[in-house]
Amino acid sequence: MLSKCLLNLIHSFSPNHRDNYRPVMTELLSLFQKYPIMTRIDALLVLLKHMDVFCLNKRVGSTGYIDFIHDEEISCAVHGNDIHGRPFCALKIRVMLDDGTWYNTFSTFFQRYIDCKQLWVCCGHHGINLFDSQGGLDALQMSLLVHVLTYKQRFISKSENEHARFIHRDSDYSNMRVCKLKLS
């Protein structure tokens, strides 16, 4: 049932017709309330097709992954595939705390293993990562990521703030609540 519904939505979405982008993604987001993380990953993969492509030119980091991308290399949000064919996206996201303070994050999200489409992580050594993704992105983190990519911003509830494992810019702000995310 879910697979057929997703396939119909994805096939109705043509990259050449951006006018049907928001209704399709809104419908996909509504499915998230009912289904597991794989639905969110399917939505992310659809969104990636509509972002600028970032060519790695066979570059690879010292860890064998793509944690070498610098924030100066991208505009706002880009996607691509690493040398192993795994999809990734790199994003600049501004974070607003409950006192009105903003700080910038720069994160690369990627499929961790070639043969495991469900496990995505947040990485990077240049700037602050958005999430702590030890063990992989969870359903809430993936939902927030897809929502920010779809709508360019997202207000964060108290419950989401408690469970999303946000990384704060320094320990002075660790008691502050994240209130809003905005694609920069």
pLDDT in tens, 98-138: 889 898 999 999 999 999 888 999 988 777 889 999 889 99
Inter-residue contact 23 to 125 (CB < 8 Å) = no
Contact call for residues 166 and 157 (beta carbons, < 8 A): no
pLDDT at 96: 93
Q: How far is CA 109 from CA 36, 116, 150, in A?
A: 19, 14, 16
Alpha-carbon distance of 23 to 27, in angstroms, equals: 6
What is the per-residue pLDDT for 62?
A: 77
Mean pLDDT by 10 residues, the chain (184 residues): 48 50 61 62 86 88 79 90 92 92 91 90 84 90 91 91 82 74 90
Q: Is the model's pTM score more than 0.85? A: no
The reported pLDDT for the residue numbered 32 is: 57
Tokens of 140: 């809430």
Q: How many CB atoms lie within 10 A of CB 92?
A: 19
Output the pLDDT for position 23.
Answer: 62
| Token pair 């289904």: residue | 35
Question: What pLDDT, on the 0 to 100 scale, is given for residue 54?
Answer: 93
**pLDDT recorded at residue 80:** 94
